[in-house]
Structure 1
Amino acid sequence: MGSYQIEWRGNEFTNFSSREENIPLIIVNHIVDGTAESCDSWFRSSTNKQSSAHFLVTFKGEIKQYVRIEDMAWANGLKLYDIPKAESALVRSMKMNPNLYSVSIEHEGTTGQLTEEQFQATLWLHRYIQDYIRNKWGHEIPMDREHILGHFEIDPLRKANCPGKDFPWEKLIKELQKKSQAKSEQKWRYEGVEFLHKQGILNDLKGWKEKICEPMPVWAVCLLMKRMILKDEEKNIKTDTVN
């Protein structure tokens, strides 16, 4: 999956508010129920006094941004008395306006069926949002259905069809979790070579990291074991000398 350019489209008319120091905990998916052009026009209109979203993903796979992640978009608002009606257990437990702790993604279309370009773009965007929040606040949004929601799970009465019956939930979560697992495995491998480098067993740390997923030939395994044994013997000699 390649990288994408995010086009900033927010203007002086785009609605947003303060998060009031709340950290984003969920990503909420929406459907435009129309074209990207109509959504873009509405989010930038002086007559729009009621809604906005952080991002929009078009059929072509373009990503447009209207509200900073640091700010609250007007996309998932609920009155306090409507919060117990939410399908999401997390939303019910928070007991506050979901806009305060959510990041919203609009998708061009009507039924939730995404083009392949659109799916790949939103897949990348979910990961981008997760990385952004981790780097900004030190919090990582889990890539699961408790934290990757549809608008219908927040407001099942008024938004029962958002993001639509054909939205690819299973495929999206599967791909997101696949990326998370690969990232976790790579981190574990890096920790291993970094430890051996600190112990003086591996010399070229950068080279080992670049080839982290390549299989190791038998001679390299033998050489690594030899270095570990010699390092251990050296440590024992120093201990005997001190004693």
Structure 2
Amino acid sequence: MTLSAPIPVLKQQAKALSRTQKLPLHAALDRIAVREGFRAWSHLAASWQQGGQAAQLHAQLSPGDLVLLAARPYQGKTALGLGLAVEALRRGRPAAFFTLEYTRAEVEALLHAGGDGLAAAACGLHIDTTDELSSVHVAQVLADAPPRMLVVIDYLQLLDQRRDKPPLAEQVVQLKAFAQQRQAVVVCLAQIARDYRPDTRPFPGIGDVRLPNPADLTLFDKACFLQDGAVRMQAGVAQG
């Protein structure tokens, strides 16, 4: 489906609508999406993200990578994460999507929003929506999985919201070890802090990642940032 304007322009229209109609931004984004022929902004974002960005980003990832995929809300990071998982499946590699944010029905809706081809390609995707999600759970569930799989975790800041789970810093270390031992690619979606201002910098950076609890982000081999329809990859995070 062709959009009436580029994604950044549509977002600006939503912001203006939010101000003039005194609507929450998410409601204004949904209204713009409906005008464009989609059920909601999440569905528009899912469809838009499948236009080649997932394939381009996937080509830059290597076995053993721990990857950060970060953005403010409504930038399409979940859709891009799902796109990466489906791209891995298309290339004959296993993939898994773990989420504390969405139900299975919502994940399936995002896949269908990307078109019938995307949903069909995702038929082998392991989807896990348990409230028990942690680095330990991921390692246990994938203990018998083949190597070189792609794992998406949605999202980083929710991993230690329960007191019976290890601290976030410890879980990042464990995910790094899992990626290296299994030669998997582990992609952690992450939120960007609210004080990031796109009017002063076109992309957020590693210092803008919201960390309610401490974690060593230098353990990530690569970081990918989304803003207004564009993607920027930062390699060598572990080296500073």
Structure holding more strand per residue: 2
Shared fold (TM-score, shorter chain, > 0.5)? no
State the TM-score, normalizing by the size of structure 1.
0.26
The structure with the larger Rg is: 1
Normalised to the residue count of structure 2, the TM-score between the two structures is 0.26
